[in-house]
């Protein structure tokens, strides 16, 4: 058996490209959790697990510590890879134990067992999430968050069920698991969000919208559709959360962002409009559709949108076009701050500016021969005076 675990797509069998964080986590899974049980030798672990002895004394941190079977379960990863089958059966039996402490100890090394042999493991995790003991249930949800990015298909139904739990803490952990899975598998996020954004429960739609930022850059057309639908949601908070993806989209998918900006720039919600403006500021200003959006925004009923779009006018036009546009807008503008900006654009400095401003537009005087000789004259005179003195 290979020494190193290789994460593979459960549908295609192809190797998964894991981020450094996830690679570190997988490697750490093959090491026992830190504790006094790290001092146990393989034969001592087996003796405790098989109840040949009830306790073993070891030295840990310069102290003598008495260890029992629970410690042996947590130390099980010290056994060689040739004993993976034994490790797997021990963890399964521990999860089925009547002792909540033994179930907790088995959950501590659950990921180890799942990585070495996942058979039955995800089904057992689903059972542990509904364990009678509250502490075990909480621990099982923490394990779910760890496993979700590695076993997304096997945990799809479990996550689906927990996302819709009536208990807030369970729902929180389920969305945390979905977020972690979506970072590694954007299609997993798309799969769940496609249903979440259609739910009547507004809390589900809001939480689902928060996952959009995780998948926006990598989910392609399916992710863009989800963002577009969320931007049309009747709940303003859902639209606000979804609109936060627009500045990022303006960088990665400007054409898609442009379509969404056209819809959200005139949204009735302040934050949605502001996020749309931030995205608009990142767009290519030479594009005709972008220019139209800025001009339309300069006439918007919201003075903040008008002000931001007016500030962008010098970027998309200049000269007579800018002055004429500013004059047209001044005739209908009532906000003093905006009028001040427009007045500056409407003035032709070369004609109406101050003397200094007008002089900037004057051509420099042509250079004369006298100008070339001028610096030399003092040195010639100085030489003549020196000869007379001699």
Question: What is the tens place of the pLDDT at every residue in 323-338?
Answer: 888 888 988 888 888 8
112, two tokens: 């180890």
3-state secondary structure of 215: helix
Q: Residue 380 pLDDT > 80, yes or no?
A: no
Looking at per-residue pLDDT, the higher value among 126 and 18 belongs to 126
pLDDT at 389 over 90: no
Taking only Cα atoms into account, the Rg of the chain, rounded to an integer number of angstroms, comes to 35
**DSSP states along 159-190:** HHHHHT-SSHHHHHHHHHHHHHHHHH-HHHHH
- Pairing assessment for the beta strands 56-60 and 63-67 based on DSSP bridges: antiparallel
pLDDT (0 to 100) of residue 312: 86
Beta carbons of 246 and 255 less than 8 angstroms apart: no
pLDDT band at 361, cuts 50/70/90?
very low
Say if CB 239 and CB 233 are below 8 A apart: yes
Question: What's the confidence (pLDDT) of residue 141?
Answer: 97
In this prediction, residue 101 carries a pLDDT of: 97
Calculate mean pLDDT across residues 118-130.
94
| CA–CA dist 228, 105 (Å, integer) | 45
d(CA 17, CA 12): 14
pLDDT in tens, 180-237: 999 989 999 999 999 999 999 999 999 999 999 999 888 889 999 999 999 999 999 9
Q: Which residue has the tokens 């101050």?
A: 354
Cα 330 to Cα 90: distance, rounded to the nearest angstrom: 79
Residue 6 has pLDDT above 60, yes or no: no
Distance in angstroms (rounded) separating the CA atoms of residues 150 and 106:
19
Instruction: State the pLDDT at residue 16.
Output: 52
pLDDT in tens, 27-66: 555 555 788 988 899 999 999 999 999 999 999 888 999 9
Q: Residue 10's pLDDT band (boundaries 50, 70, 90)?
A: very low
Most confident of 25-29, 285-289, 363-367: 285-289
- CB burial string 185-221: b at 16+ within 10 A, e below: bbbbbbbbbeebbeeeeeebbbbbbebbbbbbeebee
Length of the chain: 390
Q: What band does 352 get if pLDDT is binned at 50, 70 and 90? A: low
User: Per-residue pLDDT tens for 243-269?
Assistant: 999 999 999 899 999 999 988 988 889
For residue 311, what pLDDT is reported?
A: 86
What is the per-residue pLDDT for 355? 56
- Distances from the Cα of 153 to the Cα of 87, 120, 208, angstroms: 24, 14, 19
What proportion of the chain, given as a percentage, has pLDDT over 90? 49
Nearest to 308 by CA among 321, 296, 298: 298
pTM for this predicted structure: 0.77
Residue 190 has what pLDDT? 94
């Amino acid at each position: 058996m290979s020494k190193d675990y290789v994460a593979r797509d459960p549908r295609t069998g192809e190797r998964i490209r894991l981020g450094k964080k996830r690679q570190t986590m997988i490697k750490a899974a093959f090491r026992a959790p830190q504790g006094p049980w790290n001092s146990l030798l393989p034969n001592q672990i087996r003796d405790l697990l098989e109840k040949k002895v009830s306790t073993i004394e070891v030295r840990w941190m310069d102290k003598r510590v008495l260890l029992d079977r629970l410690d042996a379960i947590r130390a099980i990863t010290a056994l060689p890879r040739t004993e993976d089958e034994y490790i797997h059966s021990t963890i399964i039996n521990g999860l089925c134990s009547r002792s909540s402490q033994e179930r907790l100890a088995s959950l501590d090394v659950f990921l180890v067992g799942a990585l070495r042999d996942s058979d039955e493991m995800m089904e057992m995790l689903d059972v542990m999430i509904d364990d009678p003991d509250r502490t075990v249930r909480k621990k099982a949800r923490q394990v779910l968050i760890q496993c979700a990015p590695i076993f997304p298909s096997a945990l799809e139904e479990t996550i689906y069920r927990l996302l819709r739990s009536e208990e807030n803490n369970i729902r929180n952990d389920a969305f945390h698991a979905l977020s972690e899975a979506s970072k590694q598998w954007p299609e997993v996020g798309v799969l769940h969000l496609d249903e979440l954004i259609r739910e009547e429960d507004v809390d589900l739609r809001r939480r689902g919208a928060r996952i959009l930022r995780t998948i926006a850059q990598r989910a392609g057309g399916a992710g863009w559709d989800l963002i577009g639908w969320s931007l049309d949601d009747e709940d303003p908070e859902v639209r606000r959360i979804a609109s936060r993806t627009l500045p990022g989209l303006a960088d990665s998918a400007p054409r898609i962002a442009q379509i969404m900006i056209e819809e959200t720039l005139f949204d009735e919600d302040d934050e949605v409009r502001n996020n749309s403006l931030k995205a608009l500021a990142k767009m290519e200003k030479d594009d005709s559709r972008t220019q139209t959006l800025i001009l339309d925004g300069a006439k918007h009923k919201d003075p903040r949108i008008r002000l931001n779009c007016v500030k962008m006018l010098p970027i998309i036009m200049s000269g007579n076009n800018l002055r004429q546009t500013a004059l047209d807008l001044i005739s209908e503008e009532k906000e003093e701050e905006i009028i001040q900006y427009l007045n500056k654009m409407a003035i032709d400095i070369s004609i109406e500016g101050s003397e200094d401003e007008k002089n900037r537009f004057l051509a420099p005087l042509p250079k004369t021969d006298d100008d070339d000789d001028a610096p030399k004259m003092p040195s010639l005179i100085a030489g003549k005076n020196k000869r007379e003195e001699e």
